[in-house]
């Protein structure tokens, strides 16, 4: 019995330390997971939000001037993901530039995913 208590006395703090380790490393993991969307978000805020606004509404001085549509509007909702990727890659009209050369096709896709997520 004494021996059992001794074992428990060692095992319990160890289990506690293990739990703390899991919690700490879990927190580390979740910040790593959110790093990828955050970088598309950073690029969006840097390159797109001046016209499309942080929330995708197009409600900025420049956005209103260029008549940028709200990402939640039916017109934008009609566009497929592929059509948007095409617009962001190659540009559309005289005001929306193509970004494929500058940002690469992969980032263009991520940006469209991020932009579409603003509509939800």
Q: Which residue ranges make up the site for ligand HEC (CB under 6 A)?
A: 47-48, 50-52, 62, 66, 68-69, 71, 76, 79, 84, 87-88, 92-93, 95-96, 99, 111-112, 115
| Distances 75 to 80, 83, 85, 100 between C-alpha atoms, Å | 11, 12, 16, 23
Residue 92's DSSP bridge partners are 96
Cα–Cα distance for residue pair 90/88, rounded to 1 Å: 6
Cα–Cα distance for residue pair 98/71, rounded to 1 Å: 18
Q: Closest separation between CB of residue 11 and ligand HEC, Å?
A: 54
Which of 41/48 has CB closer to ligand HEC? 48
Q: Closest separation between CB of residue 16 and ligand HEC, Å?
A: 47
32-37 contacts: CB < 8 A, separation 24 or more?
A: 36/110, 37/110, 37/114
Which of 62/90 has CB closer to ligand HEC? 62
The two three-digit tokens of residue 94, written as one number: 């005289």
Which of 41/99 has CB closer to ligand HEC? 99
Which of 16/104 has CB closer to ligand HEC? 104
Q: Closest separation between CB of residue 91 and ligand HEC, Å?
A: 8
């Amino acid at each position: 019995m004494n021996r059992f208590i001794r074992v428990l006395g060692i095992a319990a703090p160890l289990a506690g330390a293990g739990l703390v380790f899991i919690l700490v490393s879990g927190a580390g993991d979740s910040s790593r997971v959110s790093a990828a969307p955050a970088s598309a978000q950073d690029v969006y805020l840097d390159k797109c939000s001046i016209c499309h606004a942080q929330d995708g509404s197009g409600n900025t001085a420049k956005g209103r001037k260029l008549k940028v549509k709200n990402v939640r509007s039916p017109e934008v909702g009609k566009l497929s993901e592929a059509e948007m990727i095409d617009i962001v890659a190659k540009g559309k009209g005289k005001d929306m530039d193509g970004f494929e050369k500058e940002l690469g096709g992969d980032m263009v896709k991520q940006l469209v995913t991020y932009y579409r997520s603003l509509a939800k």
